[in-house]
Amino acid sequence: MDAQHKKVRVENQPGISTSTYDALASGRRPAPLTRPFTVLLIKPYQPTRDSGYGPPLGLLLLISGLRNYFGSSVSVHFWDMKLYHATPDALASKLDELRPDVIGVSALNCEASSSFAISAIAKAWNPELLTIIGGPFTLRQAPIIFSNSQFDWVFEGAADRTLLQALERQFSGQELGNDIPGFSYRQPSGSICFNHQQDLITDLDSLPLPAWDVVDFDRYSKYDRKRIITNVGQRKYAYLFTSRGCPYLCNYCHDTFTKRFVYRSEASILEEIRLLHEDYGITEFHIVDDIFNLHRPRAISIMKAIGDRWPGKFFIAFPNGLRGDILDKDVIDAMVYGGTYQATISIETVSPRLQSLVEKNLDIERAKWAIEEFDRRGVIVQGAFMLGFPTETPEEIENTLSYAIRSPLTHAFFFSVIPQPNTPIYTLAMKENPEATLSFAKDERDDGDYNSLSPWYSRAYGYDLHSAIGRGFVRFYLHPRRVLKLVRRYRAMNLAIGLRFVLLRLLMTAAAPFRASPLTEIRDKPV
């Protein structure tokens, strides 16, 4: 097996149930329901130091699925609490207004505490209200969720098909059973029926388009300050998912959509772009696939088709989802032709030892070429870096920061590593320091902040990673060559906002020194 093939998993891991959406939703109606029902789907808000916004695609797909499948028998409402900074105590009035039978929450790990509070408030409002949670947080976390919250149902992995199937059984008087992949629930006796499989939908074109009619595009554009640097003119933007899944091995990944790469047809993607542009005035699209460029001919064809049909009309960004070392000139040419103005390349670390340890195995030199080529073509290039892996040394952290600072990148994100429970890197973290790993996992659920002042690495080794990242951020943006590049590229308003972010990060770094004492020594060797 050659080196490239060692980087990917062709087959799925155990516990994956392959299905088609069409098998459930096409050519049949649900079983006769005992009554109509009302659903409220929520994106929770949990305050952090660095909140991001964006239309929650998962919930928008579920809204369309519910409407299409149940028709007039269901009334669906949507509330992005994050967009309105609405904390859980605002829920009761919303429940009084809508009187739902079902409340569903889609949560990230850093939204766990707010989600748990939502379930408690919902049950206090009406103990018979059916409470459901899904989203990236829930994968392999059902036992913790049932132990710490009042949720009745937990969906692990994609729930496009399985939510419809479970609600059909619930409101037609059928037994819920134990055969719906990824669907775990409390039984009347109080015991839990667990199913930890993931439902892998292979026919993505059968999914309805997201319910874009419920999205306040103007408000997202106004409040999404985190993306203002790349969203140059505060254009109305929308997210696009053109594929799911990534076969690469990176051991810090949730694998929410499994290791199998499945994708939508070009015709389906172009139709969604057309609808968003003509019906909602969208001119900026953020493609948020796990790995858009895995299928090279498909990536080229899609971008050329966009450029042919809407020449010079759109601004396309890739906030994630590009594998830097498999990009080539033909792909980049097609991306620029289609309107790409921003691309993110995830480097993570420049340490060969750590690249091997975390199983990303990125060809750093090839990714460097891609960064330089995008920059040469006038594309805003953003680098994504992860600092504080198990066994990483301060020297390796500094090498990665220095690489970013010296590079032609326009922007950089420096993330502290978060060992997510039930991922391989969590096992490495537990081996290094169980106390730090368990305490950080709990605090992440409780405090909900990806930019913790006390990240896992600091707890494990006593090194002030938060301050190191803050200093690296300031060094990056105050580098003379980068300052000149930003001045040439951005309007005064964007530069002012960007300067504010730099100053705030500098102040946060100065005002929040790390105070924990070392717990163990950092080992400069592979695990």
Give yes or no: residues 177 and 296 share one domain: no
> pLDDT digit string (tens) for 240-265?
999 999 999 899 987 888 888 999 99
H helices of 126-208, in order, are 142-148, 162-170
Residue 420 makes CB contacts below 8 A (sequence gap 6+) with 109, 252, 254, 426
Q: How far is CA 483 from CA 396, 467, 498, in A?
A: 26, 22, 11
Among 429, 444, 359, 436, smallest CA distance to 392 is for: 429
> pLDDT digit string (tens) for 358-408?
999 999 999 999 999 999 999 999 999 999 999 999 999 999 999 999 999
Helix then strand then coil, in percent of the chain rounded to 5, is 45, 15, 40
Query: Side chain identity at 115, as an amino acid letter?
Result: S
Does 2 reside within a domain? no
Give yes or no: residues 395 and 471 share one domain: yes
> pLDDT digit string (tens) for 454-475?
999 999 999 999 999 989 998 9
Q: What is the CATH number of the domain that holds 69?
A: 3.40.50.280
Range of the domain at 90: 12-201
Strand partners, 284: 237, 315
Does 6 reside within a domain? no
**CA neighbours closer than 13 Å in the CB half-sphere of residue 295:** 19
Does 68 reside within a domain? yes
pLDDT of residue 514: 47
Residue 356 has a CB neighbour count (10 Å cut-off) of: 11
Strand order in the sheet with 183-186: 74-80, 37-43, 102-106, 130-134, 153-155, 183-186, 192-193
Give yes or no: residues 392 and 457 share one domain: yes
Q: Per mean pLDDT, which range of 34-38, 49-53, 170-174, 505-509 is the poorest?
A: 505-509
pLDDT of residue 206: 95
Give yes or no: residues 196 and 221 share one domain: no
Give yes or no: residues 415 and 471 share one domain: yes
Percent of the chain clearing pLDDT 90 (strictly above)? 72
Does 120 reside within a domain? yes
pLDDT of residue 472: 94
Report the pLDDT averaged over residues 430-435: 96
Does 316 reside within a domain? yes
Q: Per mean pLDDT, which range of 26-40, 137-151, 273-287, 479-493 is the poorest?
A: 479-493
Report the DSSP pairing between strands 183-186 and 192-193.
Answer: antiparallel
Q: Residue 493: is its pLDDT beyond 50?
A: yes
Percent of the chain clearing pLDDT 70 (strictly above)? 86
Q: Residue 77: is its pLDDT beyond 60?
A: yes
pTM: 0.90
Q: Residue 10: is its pLDDT beyond 50?
A: no
> pLDDT digit string (tens) for 116-126?
999 999 999 99
Helix (H) or strand (E) holding 240: strand 237-240
- Distance between CA atoms of residues 104 and 404, nearest Å: 40
Give yes or no: residues 264 and 355 share one domain: yes
pLDDT of residue 484: 86
pLDDT band for 501, please (50, 70, 90 cuts).
low
Question: How many folded domains does the chain comprise?
Answer: 2
Give yes or no: residues 305 and 179 share one domain: no
- Distance between CA atoms of residues 255 and 232, nearest Å: 32
Give yes or no: residues 413 and 499 share one domain: yes
- Distance between CA atoms of residues 22 and 201, nearest Å: 9
